[in-house]
Chain A
Amino acid sequence: MSVLHIVNKSPYDRNSLHTCLRLAQPDSAILLIEDGIYASIKNAAASESVQQALNSHQIYALQPDLEARGIDPERMIAGISLIDYDGFVKLTTDYDKSQSWL
């Protein structure tokens, strides 16, 4: 069963992303929304674990939330895919279940 993990908190605020990465199965994907976007920034304290997660998971970031925070896509870790709300809806249909890490 494939799962889409939705993370909406910064890894510098809560440990939800790290808990998610610890428990996510290899066929599952991770979607960063809201303040979860901060996990997509490269050369930061959380970058290494995100980089490592990219070896076994697809990682997506919600573009409108990235733009709202003034983060240039060039500052993102390579390999993270940007999607819009239409893409968000599509992802939830592509995976069997969605798990929000609130």
Chain B
Amino acid sequence: MHTLSLPMMNRKRYFSTLAWFTIFFLATLAIAPLIGATRISLTKALSSEINFADNVDAHILFLARLPRILLAAITGASLSVAGAVFQAILRNDLAAPITLGVASGAAFGAVLAISLGLSFTVLGFSSISFAAFLGAILAVTLVFSLVKTRQGEMPTSIVLLAGVTVNFFFAALVMFIHYLSDVTQSFRIVRWLMGGLDITDYQTVFSVSLPVIIGSVILMVIARDLNLISSSSQSAMSRGVDVPKIQKVGLISASLVTGSVVAVSGPIGFVGLVVPHIVRLLIGPDQRILIPASMLFGASFLIICDTVARTVIAPTEIPVGVITAMIGGPFFVWLLRRKRQG
């Protein structure tokens, strides 16, 4: 007679796991602002005796580093949650904003908006954000329509092939627009395409947060449905999941989240691919916990990468995408090899 040991996926385990991820995130958030090309004194920065206008340390801390770190956190969290959700919906280890062409779709939208000189706001979002979001949706719709069959199951190789194709397609469009642009636009495009968290302020941070929060909350609500879809979409249907609806809601929310951060930070690679895998290795594939944990870990991960990027050959700063790709590239190869070996 065996004794029962169901893994109690209850509130207690849920909150204790999340507590660890939160502690790690808060620690990164607290330490990162103190590291940088210029040494700053925290006591001096927080001192009330020095006038803020004259307090160089406070300027560096509050105006240069903190907004950048907050943007890194939001970007990391967004790309990671999007990756986790894309992987679940497409039932594919290698799905991520980059491999699915979603990031380049967003890039296309943003570059088009820059080159057309569009400047309008929709519901408080800048034209670039809005265009990036539309581009992300367009890309994911393309991939999804390429792989969708009447049987409902999506073969791994076809998903990736479709993603890579869409990626190249949008990359070509970006190059084309870039080629046609004049010098000023061209500079703005290049600057944007290199990605980066350096030119930012609190205003940007706040405007990005809103769509990210909306998208993430929606994804949390459908987390258990995503579990069932990630195990098998047809079985999910027979267990009460409205699969087409959940797929649509999930893909749109993940694209919203991706599009909004890509519009500001540029296409930062590999975070969305690597982070969900690391978190899944640590805590398992249950989306109810994977989604918040990936957000916290993704935020910490990008803060750390960005800290490395701005200090490793200080005072020169390298784009954060270089660091994430240098970590993510080898990881991606390792994952592919492991996948092929079964």
Report if A and B associate in a common complex. no
